[in-house]
Structure 1
Amino acid sequence: MKTFVDFDGLALFIRIAEAGGLAAAERSTGISKATLSRRLTALEDTLNVRLVRRTKKGIVLTEDGQQLFDRSRDAFLLAEQAVATIQDDKAALSGTVRLSLPPDLATEVLAPLLIGFKERYPDVVIDMTLGDRRVSLIEEGYDLVVRMGSVADSGLMFKKIASLPRTLVASPAFMANHSEMKTPADLNAVPALAIRRDLVEWDLRSGDGNVAKVHPKIGFAANRQTILIEAAISGLGIANLPDFMIERALASGDLVRVLPEWRPSPVEMTALWQKDRITGRLIKAIVAEFTEAFAEKR
């Protein structure tokens, strides 16, 4: 039997199959579609079998292609992990990592952490994108994504970074004009601020374990919490904001707590990444950096 030698081509085939198409594989590997297509064709010629069918939406594995993918993918994952294990720390913490981060959280906390990380590990290349939309790691070629809120089971690796406490706040002037507020139900009748106008339910819990749901009237919406802070300071309404965003405004007296005996439910912050990335050790180091920073804040 002829000895098989095109293991690079086989590795690229696995990446193409995982991505579901040449364009997505180009984004995740940085290798051009033309090169990927040429290597895929060469692999098919070497094996003398057709591995994929090309469609307008991407590629579909043939029966032979699916069999090859199923039997070789785990072996390549083990090989990548073996290589990462024998590298020294400096070599392992190198390479490029593409991140998608929530804008406000990145500006306040995560970006400064990444700057410090880059200073300690100059061989690491940080490629950071800030955005609120939920990106696809595989299709858009991201290595690490941080999301706020609940995370559905997606087959990705994930780690909860922190549970961020939140507080209801408003300006002193606003509170002076709404001195009638005594219970959560009173919040239904006053102006409120939120990141979306359809985000109209707040879950509240008191210190003695009582719970309440309120549906405030959202009169001002913006998908940046920094803007909501300024709107609250200007007296436009009550805002439900993470504590780390409003510490300075509370300390200066620009904002005060609303119904301080009641706290909104915290928001979960989660990191997600692909389990078979060669950059896995680097990604885990960054996630650990994020987790430790929020543990210190608590």
Structure 2
Amino acid sequence: MIRIEGIAAFVTVVEAGSVSEAARRLRLSKSVVSERLAELEKSLGGILLHRTTRKLTLTEDGTAFLERAARILREVDEAAADMAERRGTLSGPIRIAAPVTFGRMHLGPALYPFLAEHPEIELTLDIDDRRVDAASEGYDAIIRNGPIADNRLVAWKLTRSRRLLCASPDYLAREGTPSSLAELNLHRGIFYTNRGVADWRFQTPEGAVVVRAKRALGINNGDMLRDAAMAGLGIALLPAFIAGPAVREGRLAEIDVGHRPESEFIYMAHPEGRNPSAKLRAIADHLKKSFGDPPYWDPAG
């Protein structure tokens, strides 16, 4: 007989990449996770994972079984959550990924009172700036800032995300303040490398215009991008949720070049084909109210 605990152990080991990490996520010992995997393979009559001292790899049988196993777990979780929600309680596990700086500055403070109000929710919040694959990595949803590009995701807009072209007063005093896109091209730029391109895009009546300033620094973290701009290394195009306090305090100055950067959003997205749970919808609704529109962190708001 196939046991749900064995299916959960298998899916978690694959998502975690190791028995040790799976045991940590499941709050079990390594030996218990290994025993459940062995029982599952015995019940199925086939080997699901090749185990070596360095890594785990899926067998052909494991690859074939994984998608259905993950779907079974989702349906069990959704059924349990649905029963709880029918009783007026939001409960059960949920896993969300979010970027580091936004998570620290705004997402965490918005979520803490919600979680205190709903103590039966078991939220795992993975804070990482890399672009995770929500479906294959087992996330119920991701929260991101930027354009919505992945058509395998169903996105809910939480709020607008205005970006500010800014630099330190010291840099602008030394190098001058650009007043046009042509002048901006001649300045030193600090770029966010997780986007994969070292350019800025602006909206004009003729369409999008790309500006490629001289690269002073590329970095993959929003906090350090802001700090580099405040240190006078160059001009940065920063989300208002990062740059807003520094602009209000005068440590950064917003630059007007006659055109606005392309519009972006803070959004929550879940994999296409999944029926989002009531608790995920409740989290999204709470975040919309907490952030506001325009959001509270925008200096222009």
* Cα-to-partner distance string for 1:54-111 (whole Å, 9 max, x where unaligned): 3554232539x94x77777766654443332221478743345454432211122101
1:85-100 correspondence to structure 2 within 5 Å: 85-88=82-85, 92-100=89-97
Q: In 1, distance between residues paired with 2:274 and 2:24?
A: 14
What residue number does 2:59 align with? 60
AA aligned to 2:240 is D
1:141-160 counterparts in 2 under 5 A? 144-149=141-146, 153=150, 159-160=156-157
**CA–CA distance in structure 2, aligned partners of residues 73 and 132 of structure 1:** 25
State the match for 1:200 in structure 2.
198
Tell me, what secondary structure is at the counterpart of 2:237?
strand
TM-score after normalising by structure 1:
0.72
The residue type paired with residue 205 of structure 1 is Q
Question: C-alpha deviations, 1:132-151, integer Å up to 9, x for none?
Answer: 23456688776554334456
Q: Which amino acid in 2 is paired with 1:287?
A: A
Aligned-partner SS, 1:107:
helix
| Alignment counterpart, residue 262 of structure 1, candidates 242, 259, 271 | 259
**What is aligned with 2:80?**
83
What amino acid does structure 2 have at the position aligned with 1:215? R
Q: Is the 8 A contact 1:22 1:58 kept in 2?
A: no
Whole-Å separation in 1 of the counterparts to 2:27 and 2:134:
14
Question: Residue type of the partner of 2:172?
Answer: M
Residue 62 of structure 1 aligns to a residue whose secondary structure is helix
Instruction: Find the partner of 1:236 among 233, 236, 249.
Output: 233
**Which residue, out of 188, 202, 205, partners 2:185?**
188
Opposite residue 15 of structure 1, the aligned amino acid is V
Partner of 1:8: 4
Q: How many residues align?
A: 290
CA RMSD of aligned residues (A): 4.2
Give 1:222 deviation, angstroms: 3.9
Contact 2:11 2:69 in 1 (8 A): no
Give CA-to-partner distance per residue, 1:254-286, whole Å, 9 cap, x none.
433323421222344443556899994434432
Compared with structure 1, are the counterparts of its residues 242 and 124 closer, same or farther at alpha carbon in structure 2 (3 Å cutoff)? same
**SS of structure 2 residue aligned to 1:114:** helix
Query: TM-score, with normalisation over the residues of structure 2?
Result: 0.72
Instruction: Tell which deviates more after alignment, 175-184 or 137-146.
Output: 137-146
Counterpart-to-counterpart distance in 2, 1:122 and 1:75: 25
Partner of 1:212: 209
Q: In the TM superposition, what is the alpha-carbon distance from 1:191 to its structure 2 partner? A: 1.7
> Aligned to 1:106, which of 89, 103, 108?
103
* Shift in Å, 1:112: 0.5
Give 1:215 shift.
0.7
SS at match of 1:235: coil
Q: Which amino acid aligns with 1:202?
A: W
For structure 2, the residue ranges without an aligned partner over 5 or more in a row are: 296-301
Conserved? CA contact 2:12–2:22, under 8 Å: yes
Which residue identity lines up with residue 210 of structure 2 in the other structure?
A: K
Q: 1:293 aligns with which of 284, 287, 290?
A: 290
Residue type at the aligned position of 1:39 = R
Structure 1: which amino acid aligns with 2:119? P
Q: Residues 29, 137 of structure 1: CA spacing in aligned structure 2 closer, same or farther, 3 A cutoff?
A: farther
Tell me, in whole angstroms, the C-alpha distance in 1 between the residues paired with 2:268 and 2:24.
Answer: 20
Taking the aligned partners of 2:219 and 2:252, their CA distance within structure 1 comes to 18
Bigger Cα displacement from structure 2, 98-107 vs 112-121: 98-107
**Pair 8,155 (structure 1): closer, same or farther in 2 beyond 3 Å:** same
Instruction: Give the residue type in structure 2 aligned to 1:38.
Output: E
What is the identity, as a one-letter code, of the residue corresponding to 1:146? I
How far residue 179 of structure 1 moved from its aligned partner, in angstroms, is 4.2
Q: Distance in 2 between matches of 1:263 and 1:213?
A: 12
Q: How does 1:28-67 map to 2 (within 5 A)?
A: 29-46=26-43, 49-50=45-46, 52=48, 54=50, 56=52, 57-62=56-61, 66=64
Distance, in Å, in 1 between the alignment partners of 2:163 and 2:18 is 43
Q: Is the 8 A contact 1:156 1:275 kept in 2?
A: yes
Rounded to whole Å, the distance in 1 between the matches of 2:22 and 2:38 is 15
CA distance in 1, matches of 2:231, 2:41: 65
